[in-house]
């Protein structure tokens, strides 16, 4: 059988399954095109002069890398003129970006973390782009930040592109999870995994163990029990992985199962967590749920959380269903 490109998959989602309107299909094509060009920039590395810091900070007070800024610009430029979008929001921009008046306005809102895992850029470890698409609320003239503040369950498309040994685009439009691998000779994304499923059980967890002394009791208990292995209450040995790129950690979980946690901790107790709800946790949570997994903040399903700010942070526990339910259950007992 001939290879199925991203374009063909999206056309089928529109025409045969009636899952997505034409505008959303075209918008996703543009996002994929932007990811291709970010992938090229990432690949060039030092040869393209794209490594290192940019001497600037984003709204979260984090030092921006050159590639954070390049990726943000690529996504803005690719998406502003197509006529499918009303506005965009990014980890790297304080406020929302309205589509300029000279271009037609569309019905969708696009949110992204242009380059997730920035600490891995200079050391040649996998990084990625995360994106989430929402529908602009009806009846509004113009767009405000308020229009973006929709719960994750309202997303109409979500995905990420991981720039690793291969460049892989992972997508959901609410019809399961599919993976496309970039064929560099052809310049197109080719469908390589369909109906992605996360096994309900796992023996692998991902958490930054250096923060252990700052965790709260339910997280300490869960990880403590995993560490006791065969001799402990879980009766089995666990393995650990921590890439420090959420995209790469989630990609592993979608590929072979596991649980990923970036929980609230006592370092900065006023912060709900490190990761951002709207353009990191929401799209990843929807992908994970679409693949049969679960995602909570320890208490509540992430996709049910009502955001109150664009750059809101959240505690994240996601992956294999039985493990996420277990650690969420430990929070309920506190
Ligand atoms: P970033 O969006 O600034 O790159 O930060 C998010 C990243 C996640 O990809 C990753 O899971 C986490 O930060 C790693 O944090 P830490 O360095 O504390 O382990
Ligand atoms: Mg990020």
HSE value, Cβ hemisphere, 13 Å, CA-based, for 233: 6
What's the longest Cα–Cα distance across the chain?
66
- The bridge status of strand 275-276 relative to strand 313-314 is antiparallel
320 Cβ neighbours under 8 A, 6+ residues apart: 198, 199, 200, 201, 202, 253, 257, 258, 259, 293
| Terminal Cα-to-Cα distance of the chain (whole angstroms) | 54
Residue located nearest, by CA, to atom 11 of ligand 1 = 246
Confidence (pLDDT) at 1: 60
Residue located nearest, by CA, to atom 19 of ligand 1 = 244
Confidence (pLDDT) at 66: 87
Confidence (pLDDT) at 51: 86
CB atoms within 10 A of CB 61: 6
Of ligand 1's listed atoms, the one at least distance from the Cα of 120 is 4
Q: Which domains does the chain have, with CATH numbers?
A: 6-193 (3.30.540.10), 204-332 (3.40.190.80)
Token duo for residue 95: 């406020």
pLDDT (tens digit, 0 to 9) for every residue of the chain, 334 residues total? 689 999 999 999 998 878 899 999 999 999 999 999 999 999 998 888 878 888 777 777 777 888 989 999 999 999 999 999 999 999 999 999 999 999 999 999 999 999 999 999 999 999 999 999 999 998 767 899 999 999 999 999 999 999 999 999 999 999 999 999 999 999 999 999 999 999 999 999 999 999 999 999 999 999 999 999 999 999 999 999 999 999 999 999 999 999 999 999 999 999 999 999 999 999 999 999 999 999 999 999 999 999 999 999 999 999 999 999 999 999 997 7
Kindly identify the ligand whose nearest atom is closest to the C-alpha of 117: 1
Secondary structure element (H or E) that encloses residue 327, with its range: helix 321-332
Burial of 212 (0-12, 13-18, 19+ CB in 10 A): middle
Instruction: Please tell me the distance from the alpha carbon of residue 145 to that of residue 32, in angstroms, as a whole number.
Output: 25
Considering the entire predicted model, what is its pTM?
A: 0.96
108 Cβ neighbours under 8 A, 6+ residues apart: 23, 24, 27, 84, 85, 86, 133, 134, 135, 136, 156
| 228 CA to centre of ligand 2 in angstroms | 31
Interhelix angle 22-44/66-80, rounded to 10 degrees, is 150
HSE value, Cβ hemisphere, 13 Å, CA-based, for 8: 9
| 84 CA to centre of ligand 1 in angstroms | 30
Residue located nearest, by CA, to atom 16 of ligand 1 = 244
Instruction: Please tell me the distance from the alpha carbon of residue 39 to that of residue 48, in angstroms, as a whole number.
Output: 12
Token duo for residue 258: 């596991």
Instruction: Give the residue among 83, 81, 48 at the shortest CA–CA distance from 67.
Output: 48
Instruction: Give the residue among 262, 307, 302 at the shortest CA–CA distance from 282.
Output: 302
Structural contact between residues 65 and 52, judged by C-beta atoms closer than 8 angstroms:
yes
Kindly identify the ligand whose nearest atom is closest to the C-alpha of 262: 1
Confidence (pLDDT) at 18: 82
Token duo for residue 223: 């990880």
Instruction: Give the residue among 265, 260, 289, 276 at the shortest CA–CA distance from 210.
Output: 265
């Amino acid at each position: 059988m001939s290879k199925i490109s991203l374009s063909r998959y999206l056309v089928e989602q529109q025409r045969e399954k009636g899952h997505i309107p034409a505008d959303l299909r075209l918008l996703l094509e543009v996002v994929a095109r932007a990811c291709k060009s970010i992938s090229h920039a990432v690949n060039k590395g030092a040869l393209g002069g794209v490594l290192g810091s940019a001497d600037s900070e984003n709204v979260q007070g984090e030092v921006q890398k050159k590639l954070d800024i390049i990726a943000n610009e690529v996504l803005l430029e690719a998406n502003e003129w197509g006529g499918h979008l009303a506005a965009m929001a990014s980890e790297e921009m304080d406020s929302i970006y309205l589509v300029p008046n000279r271009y037609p306005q569309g019905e969708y809102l696009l949110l992204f973390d242009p380059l997730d895992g920035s600490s891995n850029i200079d050391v040649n470890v996998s990084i990625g782009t995360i994106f989430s698409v929402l529908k602009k609320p009806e009846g509004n003239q113009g767009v405000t930040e308020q229009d973006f503040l929709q719960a994750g369950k309202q997303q109409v498309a979500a995905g990420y592109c991981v720039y690793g040994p291969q460049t892989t685009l992972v997508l959901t439009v609410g019809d399961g999870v599919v993976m496309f691998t970039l064929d560099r000779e052809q310049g197109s994304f080719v469908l390589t995994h369909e109906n992605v499923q996360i096994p309900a059980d796992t023996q692998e967890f991902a958490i930054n163990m250096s923060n252990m002394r700052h965790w709260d009791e339910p997280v300490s208990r869960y990880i403590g029990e995993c560490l006791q292995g065969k001799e402990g209450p879980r009766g089995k040995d666990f393995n650990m992985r921590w890439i420090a790129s959420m995209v790469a950690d989630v990609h592993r979980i979608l590929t072979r199962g596991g649980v990923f946690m970036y929980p609230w901790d006592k370092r900065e107790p006023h912060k709900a967590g490190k990761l951002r709800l709207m353009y990191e946790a929401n799209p990843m949570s929807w992908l994970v749920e679409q693949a049969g997994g679960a995602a909570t903040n320890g208490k509540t399903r992430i996709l049910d959380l009502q955001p109150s700010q664009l750059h809101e942070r959240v505690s994240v526990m996601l992956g294999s269903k039985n493990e996420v339910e277990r650690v969420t259950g430990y929070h309920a007992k506190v």
